[in-house]
Structure 1
Amino acid sequence: MLTLSFMRHAFVASTFIAIVSGFVGVFVVARNLSFLTHTLSEIGFAGGAFAVFIGWPVLNGMILFTMLSSILVGQMSIKESRREAVTSAVSALFIGLGILFLSLSSKNASSATNILFGSVVGINLGEVQQLIWLSIVVLMVIFITYRQLKFTSFDAIGARVSGLNAALYSVIFLIVLALSVSVAAQIVGSLLIFILLTLPAASAKYFTHGVAKMIGLAILFSLLGTWTGLFLGYLTNWPVSFFIAVIEVVIYCCALIKQKYSGAA
């Protein structure tokens, strides 16, 4: 399996994606931003379709669209009362734009499939290197702002009382989230990206409570899903994203069962 260059590229890419997803996902869950991750996945689809339309690398289009829209959408949906309406409106708009760009493009239907569900075969060395650099940027930003992100995510009231500029770190995190969506979409596709950015972290919180431990466990669950998904996808020729989704859902169900019985005890 690893004698094939595209599989080696996929395993390297999935490793960095899992690490980024584990780090970012814990803060996504703590901030209750799962809805925004889902919205950014649709925006990423539109960005990828736009890139196909004008002849750019798909990742560049995703980064452009998610970066420009993440702060705007995040600020529009701060109020919980309008969160559902904003999510629906933005999702509908960008799905429509994505379909329009693909219909205007000269590419075939496989381009849409690759954007929506990811493509292991289509990952070349240049894209892997770009993904690695983006992952390093995301991780460096998180390391530099870790204490502040932890404070504003897990104790928002205390952060405001202490005078910490919560709005600034909210913007920083939205940018980090946008980059993470673009990075992780290379393996699981824009349609299922919210799986890696929410389920591993959501599962981890039922097994441990320390933030650092939650991040470590979320990374482990992400690695388990992506590595096993790649292996099973190679054996069966089924979509890798399908296996990743099933594995992460199974882990989450196990976490819920563990929580139920430990609570009963």
Structure 2
Amino acid sequence: MTWSDVFSFEDYGELLQLMINPLIAAIALGVVGGLVGVFVMQRDMAFAVHGISELSFAGAALALLLGGSVVAGSLVGAVAAALVIGLLGARARDRNSIVGVLMPFGLGLGILFLSLYQGRSANRFSLLTGQIVAVTAPDLTWLIVISAVVLVGLVLVWNPLRFDSLDAASAEARGLPVRGLSIVFMLLLGAIVAAAVHIIGALLVMALLVTPAAAAMRVSHGPVGVPVLAAIFGLVSAAGGILLAIAGTLPVSPYITTISFLIYLVCRLVAWRRDRVGRRPARQAERVLAT
């Protein structure tokens, strides 16, 4: 492998014109995925994201085997997994055990379906690492519709879902339908995971549904700042990964995951620096009192 495999801006303008559909899909997924990720982090469901992605992978693999829509198959698998987790995993302990059972089951089914598939090997590999460079007009329509539905759903349940995520006991005491909110959120999560699997692959889906929100929570704690930063970080990771991937021959996933990880590292450094500076006045006050 040479450096030109990673970055080579030859004919970049012509290639960019061919990547309009993937870029639009990445922007939509990055923004909505970042917003959903805020609740994923608040509800401690990062592990569930990976479990849903495995069933989504199995559904996509079955659709590929049967010659159907990969996006539709991915959506069916993800929604089925989300419903199982939402209905049976009300408590964190139960949820983690259910996810631990679903993950190998979904991955095993996906591998079985891919082993039976006799088509191009690139199609198999793309289910694990994404195939955004091959987003067609029908695929883009699916992805935009899914993202729009998830975004509208989030807006409708944002305040009660935030209350439930931060203090479930108080939310239930106030009469909020906690179980219903959990199931609604799991369905929204399943839908956006299905879209993310098509973009970045089942193995790397957490880079857009967990990392941006985790980074945002390092540098902000406000009810507005966290979702805004999470959406921006998701947008930069997804769209930036596409724009860099055009310049090379590598799959898009390494670019997206690398940008997302670097953003998280920078946010951790900023938080560490801020905390260190904030502790200095307290230490100085202690020294003054000691003397």
TM range (shorter): over 0.9
Greater displacement, 57-66 / 79-88:
79-88
- The one-character-per-residue Cα deviations of 1:218-247 (angstroms, maximum 9, x if unpaired) are 111111111221121111111111011111
Corresponding residue for residue 35 of structure 1: 47
Runs of at least 5 residues in structure 1 that lack an aligned partner in the other structure: none
SS in 1 for 2:224: helix
Report the RMSD for the aligned CA atoms in angstroms: 1.6
| Partner Cα distance (1:49, 1:41) in 2 | 12
| Partner Cα distance (1:214, 1:53) in 2 | 41
Does residue 135 of the first structure (1) align with residue 147 of the second (2)? yes
Correspondent of 2:36 among 5, 9, 24:
24
Q: By how many angstroms is 1:68 displaced?
A: 1.5
Does residue 148 of the first structure (1) align with residue 148 of the second (2)? no
Does residue 89 of the first structure (1) align with residue 101 of the second (2)? yes
Identity of aligned residues (%): 31
Query: Equivalences for 1:137-216 in 2 at 5 Å?
Result: 137-216=149-228
Corresponding residue for residue 116 of structure 1: 128
Normalised to the residue count of structure 2, the TM-score between the two structures is 0.86
SS in 2 for 1:236: coil
> Which amino acid in 2 is paired with 1:104?
L
Q: By how many angstroms is 1:208 displaced?
A: 1.5
SS in 1 for 2:250: coil
The question of whether the paired residues in 2 share the 8 Å contact of 1:42 and 1:91 is answered with yes
Q: By how many angstroms is 1:84 displaced?
A: 4.4
Q: By how many angstroms is 1:146 displaced?
A: 1.3
Normalised to the residue count of structure 1, the TM-score between the two structures is 0.94
Corresponding residue for residue 250 of structure 1: 262
| Partner Cα distance (1:218, 1:178) in 2 | 19
- The one-character-per-residue Cα deviations of 1:18-69 (angstroms, maximum 9, x if unpaired) are 1110111101110000010011111111011011011111110011111112
> Measured at CA, do residues 128 and 165 of structure 1 come closer, stay the same or move farther in structure 2, by a change above 3 Å?
same
> Measured at CA, do residues 132 and 2 of structure 1 come closer, stay the same or move farther in structure 2, by a change above 3 Å?
farther
| Partner Cα distance (2:175, 2:71) in 1 | 37
Does residue 49 of the first structure (1) align with residue 61 of the second (2)? yes
Greater displacement, 148-157 / 217-226:
148-157
Runs of at least 5 residues in structure 2 that lack an aligned partner in the other structure: 1-11, 278-291
| Partner Cα distance (2:94, 2:161) in 1 | 25
Correspondent of 2:85 among 66, 73, 80:
73
Corresponding residue for residue 19 of structure 2: 7
The question of whether the paired residues in 1 share the 8 Å contact of 2:34 and 2:213 is answered with yes
Correspondent of 1:227 among 218, 225, 239:
239
Structure showing greater radius of gyration is 2
> Measured at CA, do residues 121 and 94 of structure 1 come closer, stay the same or move farther in structure 2, by a change above 3 Å?
same
